[in-house]
Amino acid sequence: MNIQPEVSVIIPAYNREAFIGEAIDSVLAQEGVSTEIILVDGASSDGTVSVARRHAPDIRIISEPDRGVADARNKGIAIARAPWIAFLDADDIWKPEKLRLQLEIARCEPDVEFVFCDAWQYRGEEIILDSFLKTRSGFDALPKHAVAEDGYVFETDMAVEIMKVNYVVTTSTAMVRTEAAREVGGFDPTLKVCEDYEFWLRVVKGRKAGVVKRPLVGYRHHGNSLSDDRHAMAYGRIEVADRVAADPRPYPEGAEAFFREERWRRQVQLGRMALHDGNLVEARRFLAESLAHRKTKENVALYLGTLGGPVVAGLAVKLKRALGVKLD
């Protein structure tokens, strides 16, 4: 029987033979929710597709050369048949009640268009972190009211709040109305990092959001994900700042001012990391860019450290520590 799905699950994958079966099994195990699974494969050279078909014979597959996760998710959004879309990375897993609890929030308040949840982080059999949201400052203080089971609807502009602190800790926690995802044009495929964060800012703007305060997503840590690269994440935030500077209209209120400061903060962060790595040329470039926006005793000290060679650079790092600057 061809049942109309309630949720289209979009899984981007490239050479994920080792993990894709477990991810798909966690979708098939969802309780009380009809789903369709859309695998967007980046022309994997391993057995990703064959493993996926073995676990889910009815899976819908797009297999084309890899152009990044943003492009892959957009391809899934374009063909989704359900009114809701949920994203699942090929190396993550869901608990069986994940989609049901998220949909219950929307059933209680039909104008909700975006729902996320908590997640835990693991490596093999080891639980590294049991709750991401516990690490997000200010989350408990956000105005919200309870609905359904462990569900809450926010009473504040969550696009602004997510801009300040990314509470959507991994893409695999997010569920969005299909119409909303299409209306904002999906993900920005020119972004290779922070593409999910940038999408949340646009799709949540002007829309009601909810959360399930329960870890329902297992985020696998294996050292190969882009989010493990602090340099890449800092570059990604600067690229988002570029998008906002070019056209702030799709973004939350206050985005221009926020991302001017964010650009400065990430430039100092990248300069400091380059200084630690002994790359004085790169450190000087980032710190000079930060000084053009705002001078502080910390970034001035770090910049001066790039002018005098490795010994002076080392002294600048020690001075930064003594001043207690924290820019992560």
Nearest-CA neighbor of 212 among 110, 105, 134, 112? 105
C-alpha–C-alpha distance, residues 232 and 227, integer Å:
8
C-alpha–C-alpha distance, residues 181 and 113, integer Å:
10
- pLDDT on residue 137: 86
Query: Are the beta carbons of 175 and 84 closer than 8 angstroms?
Result: yes
Query: Are the beta carbons of 211 and 116 closer than 8 angstroms?
Result: yes
**H or E element that contains 63:** strand 60-63
**H or E element that contains 160:** helix 158-164
C-alpha–C-alpha distance, residues 133 and 119, integer Å:
8
Q: Taking the complete model, does pTM exceed 0.85, yes or no?
A: yes
- pLDDT on residue 30: 98
| Every domain of the chain and the residues it spans | 7-221, 230-323
- pLDDT on residue 314: 60
- pLDDT on residue 74: 98
- pLDDT on residue 99: 98
pLDDT digit string (tens) for 111-122?
999 999 999 999
Domain at 7-221, CATH homologous superfamily: Spore Coat Polysaccharide Biosynthesis Protein SpsA; Chain A (3.90.550.10)
C-alpha–C-alpha distance, residues 106 and 153, integer Å:
9
* Ranges under pLDDT 50 in the chain: 1, 225-228, 325-328
Query: Are the beta carbons of 7 and 86 closer than 8 angstroms?
Result: yes
Angle between the N-to-C axes of helices 309-323 and 297-305, in degrees from 0 to 180, rounded to the nearest 10:
160
- pLDDT on residue 311: 53
Token pair recorded at residue 113: 């268009």
Q: What one-character DSSP code corresponds to residue 122?
A: E
